[in-house]
Structure 1
Amino acid sequence: MVASIKSAGKLSESSIRSQDDLEKVVEQEQPKKKWRWRVDTSDAPKEIFNRTLYLSILVFGVLGSARGYDEGNISGTLAQVSFKKTFGLSDPHKSKDEVANLKSNIAAMVQLGSIGGSLLAMYTVDRLGRIRALQQVCIIWIIAAIIQITSKNVGQLYAGRLIEGFAIGQTTTIGPLYTAEVAPPQIRGMCGCIFAGAVYFGIMMGYFANYGTALHMLNTSQVQWIAPTSIKIVLAGLIFIGSFLLCVESPRWLVKVGKVELAAQNLSKIRHLPPDHPYIVGEVADINELIAIEQEAISGSGVFDKIREILTVKSVRYRFFAVATMSQLLGQWSGANAVTIYSPELMGFAGYKGVERLKMTAVLGVVKFISAYASAFFIIDFLGRRKALYTGITLQMISILFFAIFVTVVPNATEDVPLPLTASEDRAAKAALASLYLSGVGWTMGFNSIQYLLGSEIFPLRIRSFAQSAIMVLHFANQYGNSKALPKMLLSMHKFGAFYFFVGIMAISLFWAWFFVPEVAGRSLESMEDIFSLPWYMIGRKGAELCPDHSEVSKIHVNSSGHGNAYDGKLDYDEKTSVHHDEGNSLMVKDSNEKDLEKEVKK
């Protein structure tokens, strides 16, 4: 700020008696910021937080409900009497192990298809663009839903769920990438968590759809499971229409494919600022500069070049393996997805039977939905990535530990035909149910917020979509393994053993979050390289402190006193430390009147 006032008025040294006097003036100009339970955006142009931005992010964010609705829907569908009868889950000739295997195959088939979808996203997201990629996903999703609701045998059901996985696998790359690329740095975490929260919006809808049909339809009616599955067609259709009416293509993708002028126009639309505004020019300059550096650093852009870069470039290797890969590995084996998919069975462990299991499962969906968006709006940007992760993992670990102890102490609650519980055991069962709900709160605050967000933030633009897609392959591979493993873990590890395993994973996760994960909240995407160029053992603990954000956008501030040097005093821009090479555009800098500024300084 000191440098900006000097350069704005081009003051002579004699006009300012000392550095201290000038700093006092600066302090007087800047109003004291009040503490508030949200991110402070007062330093940025207010126009950038607008309806166009929020509607675009809403469409891509709601895309997260694709994965969520399937998880919530299939968890209740597996418990529906008509579904069990149609697909052999209630066949008395099958052993417990055979039924568990069939159940896990049906539940995990979408995760298996999602691995292929994530691989497909490596091509579609960059080749088609973010919006066109979203639209083709919606078409695949609708086709898959139609195949499922017309299924008469388990083979057709497998095919429909596998194809749905090809759509869902792409959503986890498309949604987080788009929101990270269009969101201002101040609220990028919140915007990214719109997608993560939509997962639980979908789960909640799936839970309630199953509960409603179980409550009001006959067990023998096929409509009991067909009606909830059909809602996938409605969701996909609404997102498809919204992508045409409400979305603006990512400016960063447009710059990447050489459409710089269109990128500036789209950035202008989504920021509600004119194309020659300093904020727009500065942001485009940041993107151009990063791409120029990247193009000098590498000669190829094929798949093998990107794989080689991940394996051989130290800063990228750290991001991929130490941060993004570990967030998926630890997060998926922390037990949260097992709780989501098999929640009706776990509610039975807590003493609930029949339709009551679906009712309490639906309540779990509400808890996760509310906590996911509470984390998005009030935690992830306000506290930062690291503190949110610490808090979430700790709460989840304590809650799962309590549930594990309950299952150990009251083993009769987990029997197929549970014995009546004593008064004290019944109270413990209710506490165990509450612990499952709290574990969901911890998950949404910690791992769920981070697993999509970090990959979309930390990678260079040249490999961002490729790396995010590769990370999502690991995400679904681990989720598939988790979904397949849990029924057999409950059989072979005395039911409580699986939950102690999850507790151990979360204890390791706390150390990982402290040592390896840097704080990147509020930074521009183009400033990430500085942090990851540090020695590996300093990145997580000291990266944010040692490498402040020096991007052009970070140097543009709202100047409420009216004495800035851009746009008639509305903005203050640090010219001294800013150099631009954009031939098509230049900053519209107002030459301030030196005498007026000197008078203000003397005041």
Structure 2
Amino acid sequence: MSIEKLNNVVAVSSQVEEKQKVKFRWRVADDHSPKEIYNKTLFLSVLVFGILGAARGTDEGTVAGAMHQPSFKHLFGLSDKSKSEHEIADLKSNIAAMVQLGSVGGAILAMYTVDKLGRVRAVQQVCVIWIIGAIIQMTSRNVGQLYAGRLIEGFAIGQTTTIGPTYMSEVAPPAYRGLFGCLFSGAVYLGIFLSYSVNYATAKHMSGSTNSQWMIPLCLKFIFSGFVFIGSLFSYESPRWLLKVGKNDRALKSLCKLRQLPPDHPYIVGEINDINEQVFAEREATSNYSVWQKFRDLVTVKSISYRFFVIGFMSQLLGQWSGANAITIYAGDLFSYAGIKGVEVMKMTVILGVIKFCSAYFSAFFIIDFLGRRKALYIGITIQMISILFFAIFLQIVPHATEEGWTLSPSEKAASKAAMAALYISGIGWTMGFNSVQYLLGSEIFPLKLRSFGQSLIMVFHFANQYGNSKAVPKMLISLKKYGAFYFFTVVCAMSLFWSWFFIPEISGRSLESMEEVFNLPWYLVGRKGAILCPDTSAVGKITHLADRGSVEILEDLERQKGEEELLENASDEDKNNKYK
């Protein structure tokens, strides 16, 4: 490239960057990529794997509604007057948590299926297991069969949280990877919203003596699983996985279909080179790479153990105990604590479902890539913490709101409405913060050799925590008292704010192949300074699409890169520490 041409390209690029700084846009602007990469083929594949998140959502929504349906409570003993308060709490938690127990097994199974079968075949076998589990539940007439059906469904749901985020992170262009990844977490609340709605409809319009009252909402599971299975027949396999298993020709063909570009296009060449570079390096280092060696690397390699324990592990621990899961599964009970009675409880859950659904997709389209992972976490956790704290204070000051025959004073009624609003607002905070990153980060941060394995292990911990949370919450509400449980959730949220500020790096817009540099920094710099010290230097990151010329130029600002490299090489450890503290 001539000096004159390079100067012209850099000048155009600088003008674009300057314009972006001035103009405020509630969306991500990908001015560096050809417009062809955003196409129907890519969107269909992302939709199929994104809607997979509804597997978890339909389960949580149907079981939350079913446990308030008179027919369900009578059939499975939840309305048995001979049972004590603790026995009812145990039975309720067992029914709710059985899917989470199966999901632990499903997440472990995903370590094998995702890499062995590929992303597309893995999702097809998940749909079959999902349907089998739903059939067993729908035909249940005793609690033992219900447990079995929910356990089997858990084996499917546990795999979805690895398959969906992994596939979408691998096929998504860097600028919109966060948005595409959040389609999966948003689909969770699509499933919850529809399940809440159908449960409300059957509770209002069907007799409490017919089992159809709780069976009809289960039909949503057949609808979603059927859609995903049929859609997967028209989806293209992940090019990264195909290159990893040595199917180079299929990988190039799949990437060209997903990007709608010819094989010799500079964007395709750059992306293939990035993937190949990582695959070849890992292939040399991982010949005969056993499961034991993978576990060893997660623990002994500092950059990987930081990703696994500090980011993946902690995001699940803090997220699952921040109170959001308790609000989703036990929403009916919580609204009754605010003084709502009868079928009106189901209506309130529908409103909660609508708010979480809308908030999840608003965050996906306008926040997670626009503001970045860190700011989205800050804002979301803060909103969640304040709203949960308000609900805890309400439960402490107005503990008699749940008592039959008790009439609330005007001020207590106003506080009751504010408490319901707090639950709704906490849902907005959750979908903006933890929910946006709990699946996304694990699928982005690991190297290719450990991506599906690491994500699967994180999901094992995710469902183990969710199982423990689902089992513990009914007992916490008794032993800690209702307000005590929510004070506990508030403290967890406060801890989460510090964690997200100090430990989480901003990786929005980076290529997957550029993550290594960030996590090779000293641990105390990764979160606060990682993105600044380690800009994206991958081939895709250097490609700028010039729409007015209809061409693609590869920009290599050699002087800037050289200056940065010399600065980092010559700086002593003491200088770095002083500068970035």
Provide the TM-score with structure 1 as the length reference. Answer: 0.90
2:503 is matched with: 516
Which residue identity does 2:437 align to in structure 1?
Answer: I
Q: String of CA shifts for 1:193-246, please: whole Å, max 9, x gaps.
A: 00000000000011011101001100001100111112211221111111113x
- Between the aligned partners of 2:198 and 2:483, the Cα distance in structure 1 is 30
Secondary structure in 2 matching 1:127:
helix
**Aligned partners of 1:343 and 1:167: how far apart in 2?**
24
1:258–1:282 Cα change, 3 Å: same
Question: What residue in structure 2 maps to residue 3 of structure 1?
Answer: none
Q: Does 1:209 align with 2:198?
A: yes
Q: From the superposition, tell whether residues 228 and 26 of structure 1 become closer, same or farther in structure 2 (CA, over 3 Å).
A: closer
Letter in 2 for 1:532: F
Task: Name the counterpart of 1:218.
Answer: 207
Aligned residue type for 1:256: K
Q: The residue matched to 1:32 in structure 2 has which SS?
A: helix
1:285-313 residue CA offsets vs partner (Å, 9 max, x unmatched)? 00010112223334432211110110111
Instruction: Report the Cα distance in structure 1 between the residues aligned to 2:250 and 2:491, rounded to whole angstroms.
Output: 50
2:231: which partner in 1?
A: 242
What are the equivalent positions in structure 2 for 1:412-561 lying under 5 Å apart? 412-415=400-403, 417=404, 419-561=406-548
Q: Tell me how large the CA RMSD over aligned residues is.
A: 1.7
**Counterpart Cα distance in 1 of 2:16 and 2:442:** 39
* Secondary structure of 1:464's aligned partner: helix
| Alignment map for 1:90-105 (pairs within 5 Å) | 90-105=79-94
Q: Among residues 5, 9, 28, which one is paired with 2:2 in the alignment? A: 9
Q: Quick check: 1:266 aligned with 2:265?
A: no
Unaligned runs of 5+ in 1: 1-7, 563-568, 578-603
Q: Find the counterpart in structure 2 of residue 572 from structure 1.
A: 553
Q: Which residue of 1 aligns with 2:382?
A: 394
Question: Aligned residue for 1:84?
Answer: 73
TM alignment of 1:138-287, pairs within 5 A: 138-245=127-234, 247-287=235-275
* Post-superposition CA distance 1:160-198 (Å, at most 9, x none): 000000000000000000110000000000000000000
**1:35-46 mapped onto 2 (5 Å cutoff):** 35-46=24-35
Match runs of 1:332-347 below 5 Å: 332-347=320-335
* Matching residue of 2:279: 291
1:517-575: CA deviation from partner (whole Å, max 9, x where unpaired): 0000000000000000000000000000000000000111112453xxxxxx6111137
Distance 1:537 1:293 in 2: 27
Cα contact 2:9–2:553 (8 A) shared by 1: no
Give the Cα–Cα distance (whole angstroms) in 2 for the partners of residues 22 and 37 of structure 1: 27
3-state SS, counterpart of residue 438 of structure 2: helix
Tell me whether 1:363 sits opposite 2:343 in the alignment: no
Higher mean C-alpha deviation, range 286-295 or range 464-473: 286-295
Q: Contact 1:82 / 1:221 at 8 angstroms: preserved in 2?
A: yes
Q: What is the SS of the residue equivalent to 2:167?
A: helix
Is 1:404 equivalent to 2:392 in the alignment? yes
Task: Give the helix-richer structure, 1 or 2.
Answer: 2
Instruction: Find the partner of 2:364 among 361, 371, 376.
Output: 376
Q: Which runs of 5+ in 2 are unaligned?
A: 559-581
CA spacing shift, 1:158–1:28, aligned 2, 3 Å:
closer
- Structure 1 distance, partners of 2:141, 2:290, is 43
AA aligned opposite 1:194: L
Judge conservation of contact 2:10–2:555 (CA < 8 Å) in 1: no
In the alignment, what sits opposite 1:589? none
How has the CA–CA distance of structure 1 residues 359 and 26 changed in structure 2, closer, same or farther, with 3 Å as cutoff? closer
The alignment's TM-score, normalised by the length of structure 2, stands at 0.93
Distance in 2, Cα, partners of 1:185 & 1:281? 16
**Alignment partner of 1:313 is 2:336:** no
Residue type of the alignment partner of 2:552: L
Give CA deviations for 1:14-65 in whole Å, capped at 9, x if unaligned.
x99xx9x997676468783333110011221111111111110000000000
CA contact (8 A) 1:29 1:561 kept: no
Residue by residue, what CA displacement relative to the aligned partner does 1:98-153 show, whole Å, maximum 9, x if unpaired?
11100100010000000000000000000000010000000001011110111111
Secondary structure of the 2:481 match is coil
Larger deviation: 553-562 or 517-526?
553-562
Q: Secondary structure at the match of 1:63?
A: helix
Counterpart among 119, 122, 135 of residue 111 in structure 2: 122
> What's 2:567 paired with?
none
State the shift of 1:431 in Å: 0.3
What CA distance in whole angstroms lies between the structure 2 residues aligned with 1:422 and 1:40?
Answer: 52
SS in 2 for 1:345: helix
Counterpart secondary structure, 1:523:
coil
The alignment status of 1:300 with 2:288, answered yes or no, reads yes
**C-alpha distance in 2 between matches for 1:27 and 1:73:** 53
Q: Is the 8 A contact 2:104 2:463 kept in 1?
A: yes
Mark the CA change 1:26 to 1:457 in structure 2 (over 3 Å): closer, same or farther. closer
**Equivalent of residue 50 in structure 1, options 28, 39, 44:** 39
Counterpart secondary structure, 1:393: helix
**Counterpart residue type for residue 284 of structure 1:** I
SS in 1 for 2:24: coil
8 Å Cα contact 1:338-1:482 kept in structure 2: yes
Q: In the TM superposition, what is the alpha-carbon distance from 1:10 to its structure 2 partner? A: 5.2
CA contact (8 A) 1:334 1:503 kept: yes
- Give 3-state SS (helix, strand or coil) of 2:506's partner: coil
Counterparts of 2:106 and 2:267 in 1: how far apart (Å)?
36
User: 1-side partners of 2:451 and 2:17: how far apart?
Assistant: 37
Q: Deviations for 1:443-473, whole angstroms, at most 9, x for unmatched residues?
A: 0000000100000000000010000000000
Distance 1:279 1:197 in 2: 30
Bigger Rg over Cα = 1
Q: In structure 2, what is the Cα distance between the partners aligned to 1:80 and 1:185? A: 45
Q: Which amino acid aligns with 2:339?
A: G
What's the secondary structure of 2:544's corresponding residue? Answer: strand
Q: Residues of 2 paired with 1:28 and 1:162: CA distance?
A: 57
Equivalents in 2 of 1:299, 1:241: separation in Å? 36
Residues 354 and 537 from structure 1, CA distance in 2 versus in 1: closer, same or farther, beyond 3 angstroms?
same
CA contact (8 A) 2:53 2:186 kept: yes
- Aligned mates of 1:262, 1:450 — CA distance in 2: 31
Whole-angstrom distance in 2 between the partners of 1:382 and 1:60: 22
Given that residues 193 and 353 in structure 2 are in contact (C-alpha distance below 8 angstroms), is that contact kept between their aligned partners in structure 1? yes
Contact 1:146 1:230 in 2 (8 A): no
Evaluate the alpha carbon distance shift between residue 122 and residue 27 of structure 1 in structure 2; reply closer, same or farther with a 3 A threshold: closer
**More divergent stretch after superposition (51-60 vs 33-42):** 33-42
Residue 571 of structure 1 aligns to which amino acid in structure 2?
A: V
**1:65 match:** 54
Q: Is the 8 Å Cα contact of residues 54 and 189 (structure 2) preserved in structure 1? A: yes
Structure 1 413/292 Cα, relative in aligned 2: closer, same or farther at 3 Å? same
Instruction: State, as a whole percentage, how many aligned pairs show the same letter.
Output: 64
**8 A Cα contact 1:412 1:418, kept in partner:** no
Q: In structure 2, do the counterparts of structure 1 residues 264 and 26 end up closer, same or farther at CA, with 3 Å as the change threshold?
A: closer
